[in-house]
Structure 1
């Protein structure tokens, strides 16, 4: 760890970092990040660690062994990595929220990771702020080879008797709706961000006929679908679209698919219920590293195993778009400290 004195930190932050470094021997005030960025694996965190001066490392008990600490800057930006999947995401965020090292009551959380994308709503490298996060796994499922005649698929809501029927019971974590004011503000701040692209991604888009898939990457608002299973293919995707519509009563329409967000949000929701986190200060960004289904001239397996060229731009663009919002919050903290400032006149569906 570098010398604390070099960063000219406020006394509470410096002493809290010293306490962390010394195994908790020193009594100190907890660290109060202005922005906490949540990434899921090393390639998502790398642009942040290289692009920002987040070289103050605070180890947190309960974090994944591969990603044991929070990296913070003197200005109040912190970055953590959960490791992939529901169990890792929930465990890491729970450890963070209930750690004595941080005071997160005023912290803005930005989830910034990569995802699959529906080719009718986005393209490789595109960036999407979420209004809804929907769990794609908490449900009944019957193998398609055993479903009754006339069923569209083997998916039923919990306690339901037929596809399309509403759930009769649940876990309470199936759907999260994020703060609309912060969503619109994040979109307004980042919609003109210059996004990375490459020749491989440009060439791969030729497999798709959807207009959105053929476009250059851009920034939009649309919903995200969570599942521990890395599913792929048009038939599953069509079923997932019906599932999202059912769980959101027709308000939601997913475009990105990922493996952590409902678990992350559940841990943060528990923290908010305990008075440790402000749930209205969470923004969720996913960038497209791959399409969630095959193109017109491919099989689902060919699409799943293809090198689309989207991975590099998606990790870069998650940083570019989310950091635009993070920097705006930090640089204008007097306006953001009390809550989300009035949104500018910008909106996307």
Structure 2
């Protein structure tokens, strides 16, 4: 597939931050390494009930640092080797409160393969599990800023499109992108792939936002400098917990015009209900794999939440080139706070589910 659009982080390039990440993680103090207390003696809090280990929350990360922030704070851990996972991340780690962390590997292919291996593994009972997909992403400066943590209600695939090089597109088209089997960029495609757009459980997204909306988020001096170059909010404001939707695809992109297509594509595929704000690589693939497991009654799709934190802007500030924004994304300083803020934002939700499992086991309680 050729496409000059689709996604940014997670990228192997982010592995180049070991020292800044180590320092950042050392400052995270929302929870200690102690496991959560529980308020009930629910029968499925056992280690290996019938059919495999029961899991209350499965945290899904895409590459090492995203998973490490959880491993550093929620242990001690038991390691479970699962056949079929990424050779780089072959284990699922579970604590005494049945919270587990897995890492898929980056990109659509790794995410789909790893989640399929998990979903059909006989080592886990995932029928009542809440899945928290937690990763970093590029962010639209009109909706958030570096470090902002966004709970999504819609997952949209940016890669499943036709594309013409912009130099060869019809003069009256605003973009060279258009839906497959359509006649112009404004026509909604027939969704023949069945993975172009997914609606998450809005009640769960709202509950997660309600629980986490007032947490104090991490920041960095470099991020403050980078966001100050924008002359509008929320790009130039401190990070916050927000609600807006996420766009997946394996190609990193940068720029005003592709960014406008991202906004339009999200509106088009969600019939005007979705609001684009983060761009990443894996989430539609992850959800489709969970959907396959749900078709075999191994997973409950109403228990999937997606949290993406902005590590870099998806387009330049006024006076900056799109190329400079892309090639020098790391200088924005959003990586370390974004990693921390996945935990700071998602941690209270995990704690709420585990502490009040008696209520959450039946489904999302009213908030």
Aligned to 1:285: 307
Q: Deviations over 1:106-133 (max 9, x none)?
A: 0000001000100010000000000101
Q: Deviations over 1:169-207 (max 9, x none)?
A: 520011111111111110010001110001110011122
Deviation at 1:298, TM superposition (A): 0.8
Task: Give the structure with higher Rg (CA).
Answer: 1
Unaligned runs of 5+ in 2: 1-42
Matching residue within 307, 326, 332 for 1:304: 326
Deviation at 1:168, TM superposition (A): 3.5
Q: Deviations over 1:62-115 (max 9, x none)?
A: 000110010000111000000100000000000000010011000000001000
Tell me if the contact between 2:92 and 2:101 (Cα under 8 Å) persists in the aligned partners.
yes
Cα distance in 2 for residues equivalent to 1:332 and 1:169: 39
TM-score (norm 2): 0.86
Aligned to 2:10: none
Cα distance in 2 for residues equivalent to 1:286 and 1:191: 14
Aligned to 1:20: none
1:115 matched to 2:131: no
Tell me if the contact between 1:130 and 1:183 (Cα under 8 Å) persists in the aligned partners.
yes
Deviation at 1:297, TM superposition (A): 2.3
SS at match of 2:234: helix
Cα distance in 2 for residues equivalent to 1:199 and 1:52: 27
RMSD of the TM alignment (CA)? 1.5
Matching residue within 149, 156, 164 for 2:178: 156
Unaligned runs of 5+ in 1: 1-9, 17-27, 344-349
Aligned to 2:350: 326
1:182 matched to 2:204: yes
Cα distance in 1 for residues equivalent to 2:78 and 2:181: 49
Q: Deviations over 1:224-250 (max 9, x none)?
A: 011111111111101111111111111
In 2 relative to 1, CA 249–174 (structure 1 residues): closer, same or farther, beyond 3 Å? same
Aligned to 1:239: 261
1:271 matched to 2:293: yes
Deviation at 1:149, TM superposition (A): 1.8
Cα distance in 1 for residues equivalent to 2:195 and 2:231: 35
Cα distance in 1 for residues equivalent to 2:207 and 2:285: 24
Tell me if the contact between 1:123 and 1:214 (Cα under 8 Å) persists in the aligned partners.
yes
Tell me if the contact between 1:241 and 1:254 (Cα under 8 Å) persists in the aligned partners.
yes
| 4+ long deviations beyond 4 Å | 10-16
In 2 relative to 1, CA 40–165 (structure 1 residues): closer, same or farther, beyond 3 Å? same
SS at match of 1:172: coil
TM-score (norm 1): 0.90
Aligned to 1:230: 252
